[in-house]
Amino acid sequence: MFGRLGAPEIILILVVIVLLFGAKKLPDMARSLGKSARILKSEAKAMKSEQGQSAPADPPHDAEAQRTIKAAPGDVTTARPVTEPSDTTQR
């Protein structure tokens, strides 16, 4: 019953979407969805690279480490510095 979508069904779905959101809002929504996907991809890549690296034997005891999170490679307009908490446990 719901297994196959033909051309008329897809056209009907697209018409309903345009009527609900309006033709002017759709490009903005697609752009923000793409930006969100790029951010998610870059963060997932950063997490994988952090997991792959082993921790140094004696980490430096800086007051606070700075790292910059970027929305997309080369995107400096939305980059922001992030202060990560340092490890305060005593060994």
pTM value > 0.75: no
d(CA 55, CA 66): 17
Cα atoms in the 13 Å half-sphere on the side-chain side of 86? 10
Residues 6+ apart with CB under 8 A from 54: none
Give me the pLDDT at residue 34, please. 93
Q: Is 83 left (phi over 0), alpha (psi -120 to 50) or beta?
A: beta
Query: Does position 86 have pLDDT exceeding 90, yes or no?
Result: no
Average pLDDT, the chain: 75
Torsion angles phi and psi, residue 83, rounded to 5:
-95, 120
| Partners of residue 81 on adjacent β-strands | 68
Please tell me the predicted confidence (pLDDT) of residue 85: 62
Q: What is the pLDDT of residues 15-48, one digit of tens each?
A: 998 888 888 888 888 899 999 999 999 999 999 8
72 Cβ partners below 8 Å, 6+ apart? 35, 38, 39, 42
Structure tokens at 26: 């759709």
Task: Pull the structure tokens for residue 46.
Answer: 């950063």
